[in-house]
Amino acid sequence: MSSASSAVSGSGRSDPPSPWRDRDFRRLWVGQTVSQLGEHTTSVVLPLVAVLALDAGAGELGVLRAVGQAPILLLSLLVGAWVDRWRTRSVMVATDAGRALLLGAAAVAGLLGRLGLPGLLVVAFAVGALSVFFDVAYQASVVRLVRRDQLLRGNSALEGSRSAAQIGGPALGGALVSLLSAPIAAAFSAVLFALSFLSIRRIRRTEPIPEHSERPPRVWRRIREGLRFVVGDALLRTVCLASAAFQFSFAAMMTACLLFLPRELHLSATAVGLTLAAMGPGALLGSVLAARLPSRFGHGTVLVSAAALGDGVFLCVPALRGSSVVTVSALLAITFVFGAAGQLVNVTLMAVRQAVTPGGMQGRAAATITFVGMGMAPLGSLLGGFLAMEWGLRTSLLVTAAGMLSSPAVMAFSPLVRLGRRLPTAPVTESRVIRPGSDL
C-alpha cells in the first residue's frame, strides 16, 4: 500500500502535514499568486483599452478576446505532451520572462503613441500562448511537489491565490486604464510577471518526471495517449464535456457583458473593474469551502449544486438598468456568488482529475481537458460579439447566460454526480528524476 493510500485508511488516522511547511511549495504559491495577478490585470486591460480608448465595436472586441484565447485551442495538447517531459519550474520561469518582456514592449509602444488594435492583437495572442504553458506547468508542478493526500489543500491554496488575483487584477487594471493610461497598466503587469519569475526560480526541489522508456515516444503519440486516457475514463470525459459547455457559454456571455456594462449601464472603467473584481472575494470563500464541503457532503453533490448556483446567478444581469448604487450593488453580489461557486467547482474538479490520473499522465490530462474545455472559449467570444451585433446587448446577454446552465446539466447526468466523500486513486507509476540545474 502506498503512503498516499495508507494516509486515507483507518478511522484514527492523523491528518497529513500541511504543504505550507514546504519552502518550495511556498515559493510556487508566491510565484503563482503574482503571475495570476498579472494575468487577470492584463485580461481586463486589453479589452477596456479596445472598447474605451480605441472605440472597438462588438465584432472587434469579440475578435480580440478570441485571439487571446486561441492559443488554448492551438497549443494545449502539444504543451501537455511537452510538460510531462520537462521540469515544470523551467517552463514557468521561461513563460514569466516572456510575458514580462512582451508587456514591457507594449508599454513602450503605448508611451510612443503606437499601441493600436493590431498591437493589442499581437500582445493578446503571445501572452495567451505563454499563459497556456504556465497554467499546464503549475498544475503538473503541484503534483510533483506535494503528496497525493495533500493535493486538496495544495490546490485550495493555489486556487486561493488565483482568487486573490481576481480581487486585485480587474480592479487595478480598470483603475489604471481609467485614471492613468494603458501603457502604465501594461507596465504594471510586466513587473508582476518579473516578480513571479524571481520567486519560482528559487524552487530547489528535486523534481520527479514520470517516464516509461529510455527512448521517448514521438510527441503526437504522447498526445494520442493523453486523449485516449481522458476519453476512456468516464469521470475525466465528463469533466471535459462540462468544461466545454461552460467555457463556450461563459466566453460568449463575458463578451456581451464587457460591452453591456459600459455602454448599456454606463459604468466607468473603474466601476467595471471593481465589479469584476468582486469575483475575487467570492473565490476566496470558494477555496475555503472546497477544502471542507466535498469531504462532508460528497464531491458529486457539491459539484452539481455549486455549478447550478454559480452559473444561474448571471441570469439576473440582463434585468439591471442604469448605473445607480442599487445596480452596482446587485452586480457586486452576482459576481461574488459566481466567484464563490465557480471556485468551489474548479478546486473540486481539479482534485478529481489529479486523483484519478497517474503521475506520468498529469500534464497531458490537464492539457487535454484544457484543450477541450478552454478551447471552446475563442468560439464563444466570437459568438458573443456576433449576437451582440445582431440581437442587441441585453438579449444576447440573457441567451448566453442561460447557456451556462448546460454545464451543471452535463454533470447532473454523469458519473460525477455519484462521487462520494472519498475520491478514487490512480495507480502509482515509475518516475525518473531531473535535478535542479540540469537540462530539460
For 148-172, what is each residue's pLDDT tens digit? 666 667 777 777 677 667 666 766 7
Q: What are the boundaries of each domain within the chain?
A: 20-207+219-425
Return the beta strands (E) in 14-85 as ranges.
none
Name the CATH architecture for the domain at 20-207+219-425: Up-down Bundle (1.20)
Residue 428 has pLDDT above 70, yes or no: no
More confident residue, 103 or 182: 103
CA distance 298 to 320: 35
pLDDT at 185: 81
Q: Quick one: average pLDDT of 377-392?
A: 87
Q: Quick one: average pLDDT of 187-207?
A: 86
Q: Which of 1-15, 184-198, 371-385 has the highest mean pLDDT?
A: 184-198
Alpha helices, H only, 180-298 = 182-200, 219-232, 234-259, 269-277, 279-290, 293-297
Residue 425 has pLDDT above 90, yes or no: no
DSSP string, 247-263: HHHHHHHHHHHHHIIII
Residue 251 has pLDDT above 50, yes or no: yes
pLDDT at 432: 37
Could you tell me how many residues make up the chain? 440
Residues of the chain with pLDDT > 90, as a percent, come to 17
pLDDT at 19: 67
Yes or no: say if 96 and 134 are a contact pair by the CB < 8 Å rule: yes
pLDDT at 148: 63
Phi-psi region of 13 (alpha: psi -120 to 50; beta: other; left: phi over 0): beta
Residue 250 has pLDDT above 80, yes or no: yes
Residue 261 has pLDDT above 90, yes or no: no
pLDDT at 430: 40
Closest by alpha carbon to 404, among 247, 278, 283, 259?
Answer: 247
Average pLDDT, the chain: 79
CB contact set of 325 (below 8 Å; sequence gap of 6+): none
Q: Quick one: average pLDDT of 254-262?
A: 86
For 333-342, what is each residue's pLDDT tens digit? 998 999 889 8
CA distance 165 to 173: 11
Q: Are strands 431-434 and 207-210 parallel, antiparallel or unpaired?
A: antiparallel
Cell of 341: 461557486
Yes or no: say if 54 and 40 are a contact pair by the CB < 8 Å rule: no
Q: How many helices (H) and strands (E) does the chain have?
A: 18, 2
CB contact set of 190 (below 8 Å; sequence gap of 6+): 38, 99, 100, 101, 102, 103, 104, 107
